[in-house]
Copies of this chain bind each other. A is one copy, B any other.
Amino acid sequence: MRLSKKSKPMKKITRRKTKIVKIGDVKIGGENPIAVQSMTKTDTRNVKKTVSQIKKLAEIGCEIIRVAVPDMEAAKSLGEIKRQIQIPLVADIHFSSDLALEAIRQGVDKIRINPGNIGNEERIKAVVLAAKKRGIPIRIGVNSGSLEKDLLLKYNNIVTSQAMVESALRNIKILEKYGSADIVVSLKASDIERTINAYRLLSEKVDYPLHLGITEAGTFFRGTIMSAIGLGILLEKGIGDTIRISLSAPPSEEVRVGWEILKSLKIRKRGVTITSCPTCGRTEINLLELTEKIEKATQRISKDLHLAVMGCVVNGPGEAKEADLAIVGGKKVGLILKKGEIIRKAPEKKLFQEFMKELKKLAN
């Protein structure tokens, strides 16, 4: 991408040094790419529906998938799900160490346990030993909505960042005690402050890879904004080795938002990036519609290309210079520019078509 090559950032993101953990064939931590993950919203016992959802998510960039395991029937479906998919499978376990043990037997690539509800140390021990035997990692998934009761008491029923970190550290100790080193940790609160403070605190204390997320972040609209801010702040500080966006929306949106966050921060690349102007009283083409059309038409292009769709000559030529392909609008007409050089002029009606023609040449 020309822009990133040309305009060197003043302050590069330096990633925190973490241990490397293998989840199936995906490595997280260290210098491995920050992985995008999601969670299915189907009934896990319905293998067909669950597999179908996972396959669709994998296609759009989901690199690790987690499924809820609410009962033994769900646990027993995991092996079959695993056999039918290509990306690593993570079992999400609450309340029962028996479900965790069954999930491990079924061959999942990682399990997530919630320290607040999985039971006493004996139960955790059994899970740790079984996971160790299979060589699969465990995520300690602390969540502000379900902290251990004794910690709630200690902190006067107020779930602070410190309380969340204490929960994580306590459980890390238990896992370490039984010889586990393949640990991932998350500290999700339903607000930005607690979440970022908890991750900051923990990242100073341990070097296990961190799974980032804002829990219960809300609808597509609110959840996207909450997650972009919270994860953006952490990622910019070099904190975070894998991300999951929690949205009350289809899981495909979680994956799209996750990728867009990483792309926005130039941490990873994937497909087309479109710079486009908000339009104003100067704009004389229907730029909003044109941009949406281009966004839709380019979703499946995997090549890293930087496009610009600009309404007028104020910032148009400047942005066009930094883009692989650009439109600069005029009066019911538009210029098409390749790396800043005008290659064509087209009437508004033909602008989309002409632009896409040029884009296809670049995309191949």
Q: How far is the CA of A215 from the CA of B276 in the complex (A)?
A: 9
Within 8 A of B (CB), among A212-263: 215-219, 221-226, 228-230, 232-233, 236, 246-251, 254, 256-257, 260-261
Q: Give the size range of A's interface with the partner.
A: 35 or more
Binding site for B on A (CB under 8 A): 3, 6-11, 39-45, 50, 67-70, 74, 92, 94, 114, 117, 143-147, 158-162, 190-194, 196-197, 201, 215-219, 221-226, 228-230, 232-233, 236, 246-251, 254, 256-257, 260-261, 264-266, 273-283, 287-288, 291-292, 295, 308-310, 314-319, 322
Chain B nearest CB: distance from A236 CB in Å? 6
Given A7-B159, A215-B277, 13 new contacts (CB under 8 A):
A7-B191, A41-B280, A41-B281, A50-B281, A92-B280, A143-B314, A143-B315, A215-B315, A216-B308, A217-B278, A219-B291, A248-B292, A251-B278
Q: Which residues of B contact A310 (CB under 8 A)?
A: 145, 216
Contact of A229 among B216, B247, B264 (CB under 8 A): B264
Q: Which residues of B contact A226 (CB under 8 A)?
A: 264
Contact of A319 among B216, B246, B283 (CB under 8 A): B216
Contact of A70 among B74, B274, B275, B281 (CB under 8 A): B281
The chain B residue with its CB closest to the CB of A144 is B318
Instruction: Determine how many copies of this chain the complex contains.
Output: 2
Do A319 and B190 have beta carbons less than 8 Å apart? yes
Do B314 and A146 have beta carbons less than 8 Å apart? yes
Do A197 and B9 have beta carbons less than 8 Å apart? yes
Chain B nearest CB: distance from A250 CB in Å? 8
Do B6 and A264 have beta carbons less than 8 Å apart? no
Q: Which residues of B contact A39 (CB under 8 A)?
A: 278, 280
Q: How far is the CA of A67 from the CA of B279 in the complex (A)?
A: 11
Q: Given A218-B276, A295-B219, verify A248-B68 contact (CB < 8 Å).
A: no
Do B248 and A291 have beta carbons less than 8 Å apart? yes
Do A276 and B314 have beta carbons less than 8 Å apart? no
Q: How far is the CA of A346 from the CA of B152 in the complex (A)?
A: 29
Task: Pull 15 A–B residue pairs with CB atoms less than 8 Å apart, ordered by A.
Answer: A7-B159, A10-B193, A10-B197, A39-B278, A42-B281, A67-B281, A92-B280, A143-B315, A143-B318, A193-B265, A218-B274, A224-B228, A225-B264, A229-B232, A230-B232
